[in-house]
Structure 1
Amino acid sequence: MNHKDTYAVVDIETTGGNVASGDRMIQFGCVLIEDDKIVHRFATTINPLTSIPKQIEHLTGLSNKSVALAPYFEDVAATIYNLLEDCIIVAHNIQFDYIFLSGELQRCGMPALKNKGIDTVELAQILLPTESSYRLNDLVSKFNIEHTNPHQADSDAAVTAELFLELKNRLKELPLVTVEKMVEISEHLTMETSYFFGKFLAEMKQERLPLSESIMIKNGLAIKIKEPIFEQKAYREEVSYPTTVAKKEQLFQTKLTTRNQQIKMMDAVFDYFTTNEKGHFAIEAATGVGKTLGYLVPLAYIATVEEPVVISTYTTLLQKQLLEKDMVQLNTILPFTVQAAILKSKNHYIHLTKFQEVLRDPIEQKVEAIYKMKLLTWLTETETGDLDELNLTNYNHVFWSKIRHRGWLTKPEEDLWHNEDFYLHAQQKVNHASVIITNHSFLCHDLNRKEKELPTMSKLIIDEAQHLPDVATEASSETFGYYSMQQLIKTIGRTSDEKSFLGRLSQLTQQLPEMDRSHIENMELNILSLEDELSDFVHQLLMYCKNTTANKLYEQEQIDIQFNRETSWNLALKKASKNVLTLMNEINYLGLELVNHGLNEKHQLTQRERYLLEDFFDVLTKFETQKDIFYAVFQKNEDNEVTWFSYKEKSPKNTFTIKRSKVDSSKFLKEKLLDHTPFILYTGATLEISGSFSYFEAQLGESQLRELVIDSPYDYKKQARLWIPKELKPIKALSKKDYVQMIVEQVENIIEHSNENTMVLFNSYEMLQEVYFSLQQKSSVSGRELLAQGFSGSRERMLKRFFRSTGGILLGADSFWEGVDLPGKSLSVIVITRLPFESPDRPFVKAKHRYLEQKQLNPFTVDSLPKATLRLKQGLGRLIRSENDKGIMIVLDNRLIQTSYGKQILAALPKELPIEEIPTKKIGEKLSHFLTIEEKEMN
C-alpha cells in the first residue's frame, strides 16, 4: 500500500440517465491528482447523435448546435479509457457517472471499467457532518472554490477535484482513533470509498501527528472537550438600565443604530418588568422594529441566575438564532456578559454510552455506516451534542432512536460517560444562566409533565406569541397508529425470534433466577392475542368508516372521519375495545415486572444486558402511550375533545390512525400557565387585528391584557404593492384542473416578464404538488431554480438555495407563510394562491366550529376570518425586511376586493399600502417598472 495512487476526478453530462435506453454522453471532464496536486486536465464535448432535451440544454448550456461539430464518443472512447487506466475514479454521486461511462465504453467495444471508485458525496456526508446540503454547488461555495460553469463537465470535474483535496485535509485533522473506527465501518460504503480510508489510515500511522489539545479520548472514542461553565456574576447592581436616549446612544455607539420604535419597545419592556404591576403585557412590534433586541436589552438588566427570565420562541431554529446570533450581538453591546442557555428535551441529544454500544452492532444498511462515521467526525467538533446541529431532513431512521438520549433507568452516575454527558452539560448550562431559551412545544409539554424541566417562572417572554395557542393544541394532540402498534408488537416479538425482545429476555432469564420465565410466556400469549383482536377491531372501525362515507364522494387520497362515541358506538365495538384494552394492560404490566426483576439483579448484568432492559423499557413506554390514547378515545369522554379516524384509500388498514385533540387550548393555557406566571410578555409582528387584541386574548384565555402596538418603520406607500389580477374568475366556480391552470398561467406571466425571486404560497400541499408538476413541464421555467416544499429538501435547505438563486421560484405552504427572512433581491414577489382560510372540511376545524356554535358564537367571525387576516399579514411581512426592500404581493383571489369580509382583511393591512386591480397582461410590465425603474427613487 505504499505506492502512490493517481485519482481521476470525473464528471459527465448526458442526455438522460440510461445508456441502454439510448441516452448518450454530451460532455466528459477529468482532472488527475497525484500527491495532492492537480497534474493534468482533460475535457471534451461529444456529439451524441441524438437530440439534447430542452431541460438538459437549459441546465448545461449545451445545445444540438454547440455539439454538432464535436467528436463522437467512438472517437474519444480509447483516449478516455487510456486516461483512466490504473487510476482511482472519484466523482460526486459516483454510481451514476461510473455506470454510465462504463456503459458508453462497452457500447464502443471497449472493456467495462474495473477501476476503484470513490464518492465525494459520501466523503462530504462523513467529514462535513453539519452541512445542510451536499449538492456540489453548495459544497464548493462553502470552501470558496470558484465555479465558473456549473453543470458543465470540465468545470464540475475541476471543482470536484478541489473539493476532494479539501475533504482529504479534513480527514487529516481527525484523531487516529477516529479514523481507525471509520476504517472498520467503511467497508459498507459505495464502491472502494473504504480503500481510501484504509490507505489514509496507513499514511497517518507512518506520520503520527500530536492529538489536538481540544480533543479527549475515552473508551476508544475521541470527543471534543467542553468549555467549563462559569458562574455568572451579578453585575446588575453596578450597571443600571440606560433610561434616556442619550444614555442608550452612548451604550450602543456604532454597534446598534438608535431607532425610535425599538427604544419605545425597550422602555416599555423595562417598565413592565420593574414596576411590579400585576397582569400580562402584549406588544405587537411590526417587522422592522427590531423586536428581539427590543426585549433583550432591557432583559439583560433584569435577569439573574437566581431569578432567570425564560424566553420561549416558535421553533428550535429560532431558538438557535436567539442564542447564536441575537445573544452574541447583545453581549457586544453591553458593558457586562449575559449568559444564556437553550433548554430542549433529552431526545435532542446524543447519548454517548448508547452510541458506543451501537458502534459494535453489525451494520445492515449503507446509510447506518454513513451515520456512524458522520457522528464519529461530529463528536470531535460538537460541544453541545445536540443532534439538530446535523441539519438532517428527518431523523426517522431507527438508528436515531437507538442513540438519542432517553434518560436513565438506574443512577446517572453509573453511566460510563456520566462526566461527559451532553444532556447533563446542557442542564448545568441552564442552572448557570440568567436567560433560558426554549420553544413553545417544549413549554406546552412541560406544563403537562409531573416532573417539570423548566425552572419556576416568574418572568416569561413569549416571542412569536401568535403561535402559542396552536402549539398548545398540538401538544395536547395524540395519535394512535395501527401500523405503529403492529411495529411495537413485532419489536416485543416472540421467544422463538432471537432478535426480538422476548427472544433476548428469554435467554437472560436462564442466567437470572429473579426474572420470572412465566411472565415471558404469559406476555407472549397476550401479544399473540392482541395481534388478532386489534386486527379485527380495526377492521370493524374501517367498516364503520365506509358506512359513514357511503353516500359521499371522496376525491382525496386521505380520508378523515370524525368519531363521536355517543352517537356512533355499538355494543360489538364497545366489547371489542374493552378486550383490546385488557390485553394491552396485561402486556404493559408483565413487561414492567420483567424490567423491575432485571434491575433488582443488575449487579449480575453486563453493560450490554443493562441496555437491553433500558431499550425494552423504552418500547414499553411507547406501548403504554399508545394504550393510554386508546383508553382515552374509547373509554373516556370530554367536551373539549375531538376524535377522528384517518386512513388512505389505497392501504386503509396499515395507514389507519386515530387522532384526538383539544378543540380549544385556552382553558389549558390559563390553568397551567397564565394563573401561575406573574409576568408574561407576549410579542410578535401579528397579534392584533385592526387595532384590537380581542382575538389574541380569546385564543390564550387572557383577559385585561396591557397592550402596545409599535408601527412599522417601513414606507409601504413607496416600498410595496398589493395587486389582484382583474380577470380572475371566482375560485369556487373553478374546477381543480382550471384552478391549477390559472395559478400556473399567472406564475408564468410573472416569470416571463421578470427575473425576480418569486415565492408562491398555498393553503394545501395537494394544490402545491399539482402546480409544481405542471410548472416543471413549462419551458419558461427551464434554467430557473424551481423549489417545492416536500420535494426539494428541508425548509432550511430550500431557503438557502432560494436565497442564492436569481429568478428562483419557491412553492411553499404552512411554515413558509412566516419566519422567512429573505431581504433585498432574495424575495421581491409573493403570490398568494387563495385567501388563507382553513379548510372547513378538516375534522378538527369542523369540531372547533361546532364547539363555537354551541357557545352561540359565529365560527366564521370569531375564528376563520381573524385567522386568515393574520395569515395574510404574515405573508406580507415576508416581503419587506429592510428600509431598502421593494416588493409586490399578488393575490389570485378576487374575494379580497369583492366581499365585505375581504374588505375587513384589507383594513388590517398597513393603511398606506397601495392596493390595485390590474389586468393580467399589464402585471409583467408594471412589475418590472416598479421593481427596477422606480428603484432610483429609493436611493
Structure 2
Amino acid sequence: MTDQDDIGALLGADGPFARELPNFAPRLAQQAMARAVQHAMAECETLIAEAGTGTGKTYAYLVPAMLSGERVIVSTGTKALQDQLFFRDLPKVRSVLGARLKTALLKGRANYLCLYRLDQTVREGASFDRTQAEQLAAIRAWSARTRRGDRMELAEVPEDSPLWLRVTSTPENCLGVECPFYDDCHVVTARREAQEADLVVVNHHLLFADLALKQEGFGEILPGAQAFILDEAHQIPELAGQFFSQSLSARQLTELAQDALSECNGITGAIGLLLEPVEALQGAVRKLRLTLDPLPTRGPFHELLQRDGAQAGLHDLGELLASLTDLLASQAERSRGFMNVHERAASLAERLDRIIEEHSEKDVRWYELFPRGFALHATPLDLAAPLRAMRERTHAAWIHTSATLSVAGHFDHFARQLGLDDPQTLSLESPFDYAQQALCYMPDGLPDPSVRDYTERVIDAVLPVLQASNGRAFLLFTSHRALRRAAELLTDRVPWPLFVQGSAPRHQLLEEFRASGHGVLLGAASFWEGVDVAGDALSVVVIDKLPFAAPDDPVLQARLEALEQAGINPFMGWQVPSAVIALKQGAGRLIRDVYDRGVLVLCDPRLTSKGYGKLFLNSLPAMPRTRDVEDVQRFFNRATLPIPSPLRGKG
C-alpha cells in the first residue's frame, strides 16, 4: 500500500503524471481527493466527495484504486462516460503508474450482440424496409469481425434502431448454457473478463440491476469488491427508485406473446394450443391502453382505478395472463425456449398481482402512459433503507463523487436520500477562476414564472445577450413546452443556426452545434448534464426557471406528503435541495476549461424575490453578478483571458 503522501506526490508537480502526460496540470484539490479516496478504501469507509469542474476527479480516484491491490468496481453515469473512462483515462493512468493489473469493461446484456437472436432474425427472413435491411446487413458484417460485440462499436446503426431489440437478448429470453452459440457468446466473454479483473468499469444501471435486483445474473462478479466508486453520484437517488420498484409494462406483455408464438415453430400442436390465448392477451393489452387513453400521462394508481373500465380491464388482463401461464407450463418440457417463456409469464403474472393487490404503506403505486403502451409501478417511498441494506451486504468502501452533491456547502440532502449515516465528506472547489472567466447576468423586470407569456419575456431578455455573444449559446428549459415555444419565437429572429432538442439525436445536435461555431442550442432535461463543450463554441448558458421537479410526479407527491407527516417542511427539506443540485448541473455546462469565458443567464426572479433564492446562489461558483446588460456587452468586448498557469489539463 502506498502511503498517503506518495499519492499526493504522484499527482504533484514533480510526479510521474506531470513528467509523462503533455498538458497535465498538478492541482492541490486533485491531490487532496486522491488522499481521501485512498483513506476511505483502506478504512472501508463511506465517502462523499464533491469536486468542482476541472478538479480532475477521474485521476483522483483511479490512482488510489489502481494502487490499492484490492478489487474495485468503478461505476459511471452513462455508457458514453464508461467508454471514455475505460478506453481513454484508464490506459493513461495504468501506463504512468506501470500498474500490472487486469481491467474489464462490463455493460448490461442489451449492449451486446446476441449471435443466437441474430441467427434467428436472419432465418425468419422478415420483410424489413430498405433501411432496416441495410442495417441488418451491416450488423451481420460487423458480427464477423467484432471481438467484444459491443453495439457502441457500430456507429452506422443508430442506437434507437428497432433492429437492436431483435439481435440482443434480455435476461428473460436468454437461453443460457442451452444456447447453440454459448461458447462464442459476447455476454459470457465480457462477464468472464470482469470476473477475473482487478478493476471493473460498469455503469449505474448495471450496478443497480445486479446489486438491487440480481436481474442481470452478474451476482458472482460484482460481490467480492473491496471498494465501489460511484462517479456522477448525483444520479443515484433517481436511478435507485427505478431499480427498487416493481414494474410491469405493456411492452413486456407484448414481447412475451410474440416470443410464445415464435417458440411454436417446429413443435407439433403448439400453435393450435397457444394462438387463441396469446391473441386474447394481446387484445386485452390494447383494450386496456384504449381505456386509459383520456388519463394524464402519469399519475397515482387510484386515479387509474377510477377510470371507467380500468378495473375490469386489469382483472381481464390478470386472468388471461394466468391462463396463458398454465398453458405454457404444459409445454415447458418440450423446449428450452418454452421453459423460458413459461418462467417469464409466471413472473409477470406475479408482478401484476402484486402491483394491483398490495396496498403497502411503504410503496407508491402509480402508472405511466406511452403513445402505444403503459407501465404500472410500485416504488418504495423511502430508498434509504434498501440502499443501506445493499451497501451493508457488500462489506466494502463506498465512494460517491460528482461536481454537484452539496447544497450551500452541506451534504445532508444527498446523504439522507441514500441512507448514508455519518459519512466522511469532502468539498473541493473548481480550480477555474470564475471571478475572471465568468459573469452571472440576472435580467431585471422579468415576471413570475407562472405567467402565461413568461417564455416570450425570457426570449426578449435573452436576445441582447445572444447579440453580444454572437450566438454560441445553450438555452436550457425546465419543460418541453417552453422549449418548443422558444424555438418558435427564435426561428425568425436570430441569424445563427438553431439546434432544437428532438429534431435530431442528442450526439448529432452537439456535434453540429460545436461545428457551427455560432449556434444556439435549445435543450431540456437531458442537456442539463453530461454535456461538455469546451472552447469558443459555447459562451452563454441561459436557464429559464429554477428546475423544481414536475408537481405531477406521483412518487414525489407521496414523498412530500410523508415528509410533512414526519414534521419536515417538504419544500425546504426536499424540493429546494433537489432543484439546487439540478441548477448546479445546468450552470456547470458553461466553464469546462481554463481558457473558457462565458455568461450564465439566470432568468428566474425568485432567485432574489424569495428567501430560498440565496440557497441557489450560494451553491453556485463565486462569480460577479449583474442586472445590467451593458456589463454583458463589456464582458464580451474585453480581450480574451491571458494564457493561464497552470496549463489546461484533463488529469
Residue 877 and residue 581 in structure 1: after superposition, are their counterparts in 2 closer, same or farther (change >3 A)? same
How many Å apart are 1:705 and its aligned residue?
0.4
Q: Is the alpha carbon distance of 1:485 and 1:420 closer, same or farther for their aligned partners in structure 2, counting shifts above 3 Å?
A: closer
1:343–1:426 CA contact under 8 A, matched in 2: yes
Aligned to 1:889: 600
Question: What is the aligned partner in structure 2 of residue 780 from structure 1?
Answer: 494
For residue 246 of structure 1, report the CA deviation from its aligned partner. 7.5
The match for 1:867 is 578
Amino acid at match of 2:480: Y
Q: Which residue of 1 aligns with 2:623?
A: 913
Q: Is residue 390 of structure 2 the alignment partner of residue 641 of structure 1?
A: no
Task: Name the structure 2 match of 1:850.
Answer: 561
Counterpart CA distance in 1 for 2:607 and 2:481 is 23
CA 886–536 in structure 1, closer or farther in 2 if over 3 Å, else same = closer
- Residue number in structure 1 paired with 2:649: none
Distance between the aligned counterparts of 1:501 and 1:382, measured in 2?
Answer: 28
Output the amino acid matched with 1:691: G
Partner of 1:309: 72
Give the superposition deviation at 1:281: 1.2
Count, aligned residues:
634
Asked if 1 retains the 8 angstrom alpha-carbon contact of 2:384 and 2:417, the reply is yes
**Cα displacement string for residues 899-935 of structure 1 (whole angstroms, at most 9, x for unaligned residues):** 101122112222x3112222xxxx2x53343134142
- Give CA deviations for 1:141-177 in whole Å, capped at 9, x if unaligned: xxxxxxxxxxxxxxxxxxxxxxxxxxxxxxxxxxxxx
* Cα drift, residue 477 of structure 1: 4.2
What are the Cα deviations for residues 758-786 of structure 1, in whole angstroms up to 9, with x where unaligned?
0011111222122223322x1423xx331
Aligned pair 1:929/2:634, yes or no? yes
1:809 is aligned to: 520
Aligned amino acid, residue 635 of structure 2:
F
Structure 1: distance between partners of 2:238 and 2:307? 33
Q: Is the 8 A contact 1:310 1:436 kept in 2?
A: yes
Cα distance, 1:524 vs. partner? 4.1
The aligned amino acid for 1:449 is K
**Equivalent residue letter for 1:638:** S
Is the aligned partner of 1:797 residue 2:508?
yes
Q: Which has the larger radius of gyration?
A: 1
Q: Please give the alpha-carbon distance, in whole angstroms, between the structure 2 residues aligned to 1:879 and 1:403.
A: 40
Report how far residue 525 of structure 1 moved.
Answer: 4.7
- Partner-residue secondary structure (3-state), 2:536: helix
Show the counterpart of 1:585. 322
Q: Write the deviation string for residues 401-442 of structure 1: whole angstroms up to 9, x where unpaired.
A: 221134786663x65544433222212321332110111111
2: CA distance between counterparts of 1:731 and 1:501?
53
Q: 1:589 to 1:574 in 2, by over 3 A?
A: same
Q: CA deviation at 1:753?
A: 3.0
1:843/1:393 Cα in 2 relative to 1: closer, same or farther (>3 Å)? Answer: farther
Q: Are the structure 2 counterparts of residues 281 and 677 from structure 1 closer, same or farther at C-alpha, using a change threshold of 3 Å?
A: same
SS in 1 for 2:324: helix
Deviation digits for residues 516-549 of structure 1 (CA, Å, limit 9, x no counterpart): x4x755544534554566666666666xx77xxx
Q: Answer yes or no: is the 8 Å Cα contact 2:437–2:641 preserved in 1.
A: no
Q: 1:482 to 1:242 in 2, by over 3 A?
A: closer
SS of equivalent residue, structure 2 residue 420: coil
**Distance of aligned partners of 1:393 and 1:531 in 2 relative to their CA distance in 1, 3 Å threshold:** closer
* Equivalent of residue 36 in structure 2, options 249, 268, 292: 268
* Deviation for aligned residue 1:864: 0.7
Deviation per CA, 1:84-133, whole angstroms, max 9, x where unpaired?
xxxxxxxxxxxxxxxxxxxxxxxxxxxxxxxxxxxxxxxxxxxxxxxxxx
Q: Distance in 1 between matches of 2:434 and 2:110?
A: 44
Report the Cα distance in structure 1 between the residues aligned to 2:344 and 2:518, rounded to whole angstroms.
Answer: 47
Residue 293 of structure 1 is matched in structure 2 by 59
The alignment partner of 1:643 has SS state of strand
1:254-403 equivalences under 5 Å are 254-255=20-21, 256-274=24-42, 276=43, 278-303=44-69, 307-362=70-125, 363-379=127-143, 381-391=145-155, 395=159, 397-403=161-167
CA contact (8 A) 2:472 2:517 kept: yes
Letter in 2 for 1:298: P
C-alpha change, 1:583 and 1:847, in structure 2 (3 Å) is same
Q: What is the aligned counterpart of 1:900 among 581, 597, 611?
A: 611
> In structure 1, how many angstroms separate the alpha carbons of the residues matched to 2:617 and 2:301?
38
Report the secondary structure of 1:760's partner residue. Answer: strand
Quote the Cα distance in structure 2 between the aligned partners of 1:539 and 1:416: 41
Q: CA deviation at 1:578?
A: 4.2
Partner of residue 15, structure 1: none
* 8 Å CA contact retained: 1:405, 1:423: no
C-alpha distance in 2 between matches for 1:595 and 1:461: 42
Cα distance change on mapping 1:351 and 1:241 into 2, 3 Å: farther
Q: Report SS of the residue matched to 1:852.
A: helix
Instruction: Flag structure 2 segments of 5+ consecutive residues without an equivalent.
Output: 645-651
TM-score normalised to structure 2 length: 0.88
In structure 2, what is the equivalent of residue 437 of structure 1?
201
Amino acid at match of 1:908: S
1:562 aligned to which of 300, 309, 314: 300
**1:815 Cα deviation after fit:** 2.3
Flag the 1:470–1:646 CA change in 2: closer, same or farther, 3 A. closer
Q: Is the 8 A contact 1:241 1:298 kept in 2?
A: no
Shift of 1:339: 3.0
- CA distance in 2: counterparts of 1:821 and 1:536, whole angstroms: 45
Letter in 1 for 2:72: V
Query: Quick one: structure 1 residues 899 and 358, their matched pair in 2 at CA, closer, same or farther if it must change by over 3 Å?
Result: same
Cα shift readout 1:766-817 (whole Å, capped 9, x = no counterpart): 22122223322x1423xx3311221122x22222222222111111122211
Deviation at 1:719, TM superposition (A): 1.2
C-alpha distance in 2 between matches for 1:851 and 1:417: 51
Distance 1:586 1:367 in 2: 39
Q: Which residue of 2 aligns with 1:472?
A: 240
- Is contact 1:480–1:659 with CA below 8 Å preserved after alignment? yes
Map 1:405-804 to 2 at 5 A: 405-406=169-170, 412=177, 415-447=179-211, 448-449=213-214, 451=217, 452=219, 453-477=221-245, 480-482=248-250, 485=253, 489=257, 491=258, 500-501=261-262, 504-505=264-265, 508-509=267-268, 517=269, 521-527=272-278, 529-530=280-281, 558-564=296-302, 577-599=314-336, 613=337, 623=345, 626-647=348-369, 654-732=372-450, 734-735=451-452, 738-776=453-491, 778-781=492-495, 784-793=496-505, 795-804=506-515
- CA distance in 2 between counterparts of 1:906 and 1:675 reads 39
Deviation at 1:633, TM superposition (A): 2.1
SS in 2 for 1:441: helix
Distance change >3 Å, CA 539–CA 676, structure 1 → 2 = same
Q: Flag structure 1 segments of 5+ consecutive residues without an equivalent.
A: 1-235, 494-499, 510-516, 547-557, 600-612
Q: Return the alpha-carbon distance in structure 2 between the equivalents of residues 640 and 393 of structure 1.
A: 43
- What is the distance in 2 between the residues matched to 1:486 and 1:432? 38
Cα RMSD, aligned residues only: 3.2
Q: In 2 relative to 1, CA 347–621 (structure 1 residues): closer, same or farther, beyond 3 Å?
A: farther
Provide the secondary structure at the position in 2 that maps to 1:585: helix
SS in 2 for 1:461: strand
- Which amino acid letter does the alignment assign opposite residue 624 of structure 2? P
Amino acid at match of 1:508: I
String of CA shifts for 1:201-243, please: whole Å, max 9, x gaps.
xxxxxxxxxxxxxxxxxxxxxxxxxxxxxxxxxxx79x99835
2:267 aligned counterpart, secondary structure: helix
Deviations 1:681-708 (A, max 9, x none): 1111111222211111101011100111
Q: Which amino acid aligns with 1:563?
A: F
Q: 1:538–1:710: structure 2 CA closer, same or farther, 3 Å change rule?
A: closer
